[in-house]
Amino acid sequence: MTGGSKIRYTTQLQAGLGLIEETKSLLSIYKPGMTVTELYDAALESGLFPMVSARRLKNIIGECFSPRYLKTDSARFLKPISQNAPAHVFNQHLFVFTALANQILFNFIIEIYWNRYAGGRDMLSIDDARDFVSQAVNEGKTQKPWSETTIRRVSSYLIGCCADYGMLSSKRSPVRQIQSIRLEEYTLLFFSYWLHFQQMGDNRIIKHDLWQLFGLTPDDVREELKRISKKDWLIVQSAADVTRISWRFNSLEEVVDVITES
């Protein structure tokens, strides 16, 4: 997924925003290879969701957990991270996968959030989100035209999701304080290897759009990789615009071990 792809925007965020605690509970139940139905049945039987209706739980798993963590085959890696890594590291992994699964959120963060931050603004409003969504509808980026009600709802989802992941103040208000986030070294480690094991070349990894979720340019990413190379997690060699990376770990399981044993 890239910010410039032709994937249409959807209202899928209406099924759930950050869902950090719910995701952590589902990961505690999850076993590798589970289908959506199997996970739903196990979640119902677990007793971990006493305040969630069966219908709501089904929507959370089918519309949120599945596209974010099952279709990307990331749940099996996130489970040990959720149990053993600091909460802010785990949450940042969820943030990336949530943005990758929701193009409208992905583009909102890149095009609006970071542009406002770079422009020196310290606030982001529901009107900023509404303008972004309205423009997207006018440009035909949705599967069909959205009503004003849908535009308002989706705008609030974007703001709420950013707040859930610590990018905006949590206080419910039409105007939120921007709380800039920094790419955690373990997040950088995981996703650089995650892209590498998708057979992606070193320069493509550095230029991948997902780093823009943290306001980073390819040059920034290269420097961040050089920084973590001091921990012997990889070796970075660069000359002009060409970068070569020597990868130390042979699987994402090894990478997760580093994250969880730190």
Positive or negative: CA dihedral 165, 170, 176, 177: negative
Q: At which of 139, 155, 177 does a domain end?
A: 177
Same domain, 78 and 120: no
pLDDT number for residue 3: 42
pLDDT number for residue 171: 84
Location of structure tokens 């039409």: 174
Same domain, 160 and 204: no
Residues in the chain where the model's pLDDT stays below 50: 1-5
The answer to whether 156 and 126 are in contact (CB under 8 A) is yes
242-247/234-239 β-pairing = antiparallel
**3 in a structural domain:** no
pLDDT number for residue 6: 66
**90 in a structural domain:** no
Counting runs of H as helices and runs of E as strands, what totals does the chain give?
Answer: 13, 4
The answer to whether 209 and 1 are in contact (CB under 8 A) is yes
| Alpha carbons 12 and 157: distance in angstroms, whole number | 10
Q: What is the DSSP letter of 142?
A: B
145 burial level (CB within 10 Å; 0-12, 13-18, 19+) = exposed
Same domain, 168 and 193: no
**204 in a structural domain:** yes
Considering only CA atoms, give the Rg of the chain.
Answer: 19
CATH code, domain carrying 240:
1.10.10
Range of the domain at 26: 12-84
Total domain count, the chain:
3
| C-alpha closest to that of 176 among 92, 116, 111, 101 | 116
**65 in a structural domain:** yes
**209 in a structural domain:** yes
Q: At which of 55, 84, 113 does a domain end?
A: 84
Q: At which of 84, 113, 141 does a domain end?
A: 84
Same domain, 116 and 166: yes
**7 in a structural domain:** no
**147 in a structural domain:** yes
Same domain, 29 and 67: yes
**29 in a structural domain:** yes
